[in-house]
A and B are shown apart, each in its own frame.
Chain A
Amino acid sequence: MAKTDISTKFNPLLGETELDLLSKLCNSVSVSGDEQEVRAIVLEELHEFAAVTKVDAMGNVLVRREGTGTDRVRVMIAAHMDEVGFMIVNDEGDGIFEFRVIGGVDPRQLVGKPVSIGREHIPGVIGAKAIHLTTPEERQQVLKVDQLRIDIGTGSGGKVKVGDRGTFATKLVVLGPSIRSKALDDRLGVFNLIQLVKHAPENVDLLAAFTVQEELGLRGARTAAFAFDPEIGIAMDSTPANDLPHYDGLENTSPNTRLGNGPAIYVMDRGTIGDQRLIRWLVASAEADAIPWQFRQPGLGGTDAGEIHKTRAGVPSVSVSVPQRYLHSAAGLIRIEDELNTLKLIHTALTRLDRTILNPQEKM
């Protein structure tokens, strides 16, 4: 039985309940290929809200939240449940393990980090040779993944097994106007999509796809989009804010996005040319509600939209991201206002959505 608090007004907040949910999502270990922990949270959060929920062959959670209006547009919104991390590939004995990275992690981010392994979050560390024992020449070389080991302590037989996945052990914290956490890419999207299902506008059929294996090439989104057969696709993700100072004081001409400037709307990335009708719709919605927004600088990177828009006979698609510093490292950093404005923007845009957005001439 679906709950029926379908609403047109939604003023998102990050109160204690919401922060607890976001912390739980971010602190989970949910590396591409083993998204069970986040999947369980999503199913638990949404079981009383959605009429139809299923887990597909890939492990995506597909939630269909139908509206009550007439001539409802079928909108697929995707947020990926997986995060970058590693897999244990060799047990060298006495608590020492070899590992390989899953997803795009710069090896320079791995050294000297606490990690969390498997469903039971077994603690471990990635150490490094003591500086006292290194030569200046050695210190000019990046420590590569195959030189690093995970150490879970001595006499730890059986707690960690070859094949287990793990990731950084960082816990979410609020730092003034910011949140610092691992896996904000894309637990923020997952969090926002949960909120949208709970507060779905009545004028649309919301097809919520909590996808798997985005970090390995948008693989979950592909089957999710086929199953949903949507009219419009939106990917909610997180995108780099490279808004740091240049090393020698030059102007930073490639920040991609900047923290505090609002949700980042994608015009073009490596995988998708954003549908210009949808971009206009998002911008108009933001302007109408005085929500700050920014265009992400066109360039590399990609989101689940890269697969969604090529599905079946084609699906007009666009991406919106919360700008984030330091993606794919032990912790990223976002501004809380950007997160809330992103959720607000998508919600208000959905309430304004009708089919004429795709066929502007019909409005004449």
Chain B
Amino acid sequence: MKLDLKQHLKDMISAAGPSGYEDPIREIIRAAWQPLADEVRVNNLGSLVAIRRGEGAEPRPSVMIAAHMDAIGLMVTGIDEGFLRFTQIGGVDPRILPGQMVTVHGTNADVPRELPGMVVMPPAGLLPKDGKSGPLPQKYLLVDTGLLPDEVKQFVRVGDVISFATEPMELAGDCVSGHTLDNRASVAAVTVALEMLSRRKHLWDVMAVATSQEEVGGIGAMVDAVAIKPDFAIVIDVTFAKAPGGAGIGNFELGKVTPVTWGSCNHPALHSAMLATAEEYEISIAKDFAPTGSGTDAWDIQVAEAGVPVVELGIPLRYMHTPVEVVSLKDVRRAGRLMAEFIAGLSLDFMKTVIWE
């Protein structure tokens, strides 16, 4: 099976999956990973684990690859004349919300109903004085489903989840835009790695995990690391690319490099090993400096049980946490390849090299 990476990624960013409600995206990832794995299971808090057994003698060491699959989203807090009031799941700048297309996952009727909707900004006359020109606080925004008030009440109740519904767009230069490329782009890179490893010899067991609830604090990864007990973990998440309006420290160009995190949430020996692999295979990387933490699953995996050594990769992304995030497929492919080469190169006694000076 040849992986159609662009289609795989577009399928994933067409699916809902706000933190705690990852069912739709989990099934898409399961379909992609199942043929590449010996075993697939779902962990207690909803993460998907695909296991590829290595060729080494038992007991084999194992590496966890973690990429979170959950998305930021919204949740219904009230219904007012058929309009929905809402709160956030994860961090959303309310300034990006007016005019966004969403899906309301209504659970009030016997059969759940997905309702297309749009976040709307009420007219100035219905807002407090500063509503005319200032940024509107989220509490004043509404979701309009186009349905009549009675229909809305029939299908929707307080607590229902609202996901972003921006359609995927193919941009120039192998770029894709849409919602939740944070972090489906990284999940796609894991798929690339699994696909490459399916054609390669590897001694280690590979535990690919699409983690849940990262956007609310690394919850899935925290318990997955305990459930899996890997010898070490590779975490992959998106990082800030150079973009109009501001970039992070790295200022990474799209389509050029795979950032490798350097900070407190990576083991220096693993970091060096990853850099060595990149050099050996002429894979273009750059250090992504995270002076405190990188704000990813790495933070929680690292302190699971008695501690797990972590190395972290990134995929440069523009406009993080907006529904028009942009990534380059080149970066997805390169990150997948780097992970595959790294894992394929692991000797059974590799952990003896993961030591402090």
Show the binding face of A for B, using Cβ within 8 Å: 92, 95-96, 106, 108-109, 111-114, 123-134, 139-143, 147-149, 151-156, 159, 168-170, 173, 175-180, 240, 242, 244-248, 252, 254, 260, 325-326, 329-331, 333
The 3 closest A-B CB pairs, nearest first, are A153-B171, A156-B172, A175-B146
Could you say which of A112, A175, A252 contacts B147, with CB atoms under 8 Å apart?
Answer: A175
Instruction: Enumerate chain A residues within 8 angstroms of B326, measured Cβ to Cβ.
Output: 125, 127, 151, 153
Q: Is the CB of A139 within 8 A of B147?
A: no
Q: Is the CB of A153 within 8 A of B83?
A: no
Instruction: Enumerate chain B residues within 8 angstroms of A131, measured Cβ to Cβ.
Output: 91-93, 320-321
User: How many angstroms from the CA of A124 to the CA of B324 in the assembled complex?
Assistant: 9
Among B59-67, B120-128, B187-195, B280-288, the stretch that binds chain A is: B120-128
Among B129-137, B228-236, B267-275, B333-341, the stretch that binds chain A is: B129-137
Residue of A nearest to B242 (CB): A94
Q: Is the CB of B324 within 8 A of A325?
A: no
Residue B295 at the chain A interface, CB threshold 8 Å: yes
Q: Is the CB of A127 within 8 A of B319?
A: yes
Q: Is the CB of A95 within 8 A of B320?
A: no
Residue B3 at the chain A interface, CB threshold 8 Å: no
CB-defined A-B contacts under 8 Å, sample of 28: A95-B172, A95-B173, A106-B121, A111-B322, A112-B100, A114-B169, A123-B171, A125-B177, A127-B324, A129-B243, A129-B246, A133-B247, A133-B248, A139-B94, A148-B244, A149-B244, A149-B245, A153-B175, A154-B255, A156-B171, A175-B116, A178-B147, A180-B146, A244-B81, A247-B122, A260-B148, A330-B118, A331-B118
Q: Is the CB of B118 within 8 A of A180?
A: yes
User: How many angstroms from the CA of A124 to the CA of B326 in the assembled complex?
Assistant: 10
Q: Is the CB of A176 within 8 A of B245?
A: no
Residue B98 at the chain A interface, CB threshold 8 Å: yes
Residue B227 at the chain A interface, CB threshold 8 Å: no
Instruction: Enumerate chain B residues within 8 angstroms of A123, measured Cβ to Cβ.
Output: 169-171, 177
Q: How many A-B residue pairs have CB under 8 A?
A: 210
Instruction: Enumerate chain A residues within 8 angstroms of B100, measured Cβ to Cβ.
Output: 112, 330
Task: Using known A-B contacts A95-B172, A108-B136, A329-B99, determine if residue A114 contacts B166 with beta carbons closer than 8 Å.
Answer: yes
Scoring A147, A176, A242 by chain B CB atoms within 10 A of each residue's CB, the highest score goes to A176
Q: Is the CB of A139 within 8 A of B246?
A: no
Q: Is the CB of B320 within 8 A of A132?
A: yes
Could you say which of B125, B131, B133, B320 contacts A130, with CB atoms under 8 Å apart?
Answer: B320
Q: Is the CB of B118 within 8 A of A333?
A: yes
Residue B145 at the chain A interface, CB threshold 8 Å: yes
Q: In whole Å, how far is A30's beta carbon from the nearest beta carbon of chain B?
A: 19
Chain A binding surface, main DSSP class: loop
Instruction: Enumerate chain B residues within 8 angstroms of A142, measured Cβ to Cβ.
Output: 95, 133-135
Residue of A nearest to B72 (CB): A131
Task: Using known A-B contacts A131-B320, A132-B321, A175-B147, determine if residue A156 contacts B122 with beta carbons closer than 8 Å.
Answer: no
Residue B240 at the chain A interface, CB threshold 8 Å: yes
Scoring B97, B142, B151, B321 by chain A CB atoms within 10 A of each residue's CB, the highest score goes to B321
Q: Is the CB of A245 within 8 A of B81?
A: yes
Q: How many residues of B contact A (CB 8 A)?
A: 69
Q: Is the CB of A108 within 8 A of B98?
A: yes
Scoring A129, A134, A149, A260 by chain B CB atoms within 10 A of each residue's CB, the highest score goes to A129
Residue B314 at the chain A interface, CB threshold 8 Å: no
Task: Using known A-B contacts A113-B99, A113-B324, determine if residue A244 contacts B83 with beta carbons closer than 8 Å.
Answer: yes
Residue B22 at the chain A interface, CB threshold 8 Å: no
Q: What 0/1 pattern do residues 37 to 64 of B give for CB contact below 8 A with A?
A: 0000000000000000000000000000
Instruction: Enumerate chain B residues within 8 angstroms of A109, measured Cβ to Cβ.
Output: 98-99, 121
Residue of B nearest to A142 (CB): B135
Q: What 0/1 pattern do residues 213 to 250 of B give for CB contact below 8 A with A?
A: 00000000000000000000000000010011111100
User: How many angstroms from the CA of A124 to the CA of B146 in the assembled complex?
Assistant: 27
Residue B318 at the chain A interface, CB threshold 8 Å: yes
Q: Is the CB of A130 within 8 A of B324?
A: no
Residue B15 at the chain A interface, CB threshold 8 Å: no
Q: Is the CB of A151 within 8 A of B83?
A: no
Instruction: Enumerate chain A residues within 8 angstroms of B320, measured Cβ to Cβ.
Output: 130-132
Residue of A nearest to B91 (CB): A131
Q: Is the CB of B140 within 8 A of A130?
A: no
Residue of B nearest to A150 (CB): B244
Q: Is the CB of B324 within 8 A of A132?
A: no
Q: Is the CB of A242 within 8 A of B125?
A: yes
Could you say which of A132, A140, A148 contacts B135, with CB atoms under 8 Å apart?
Answer: A140
Instruction: Enumerate chain B residues within 8 angstroms of A156, measured Cβ to Cβ.
Output: 171-173
Residue of B nearest to A151 (CB): B326
User: How many angstroms from the CA of A78 to the CA of B150 in the assembled complex?
Assistant: 37
Instruction: Enumerate chain A residues within 8 angstroms of B145, measured Cβ to Cβ.
Output: 175-176
User: How many angstroms from the CA of A140 to the CA of B72 in the assembled complex?
Assistant: 21
User: How many angstroms from the CA of A89 to the CA of B171 in the assembled complex?
Assistant: 20
Q: Is the CB of A128 within 8 A of B96?
A: yes
Residue B323 at the chain A interface, CB threshold 8 Å: yes
Residue B80 at the chain A interface, CB threshold 8 Å: yes
Instruction: Enumerate chain A residues within 8 angstroms of B160, measured Cβ to Cβ.
Output: none
User: How many angstroms from the CA of A217 to the CA of B140 in the assembled complex?
Assistant: 32
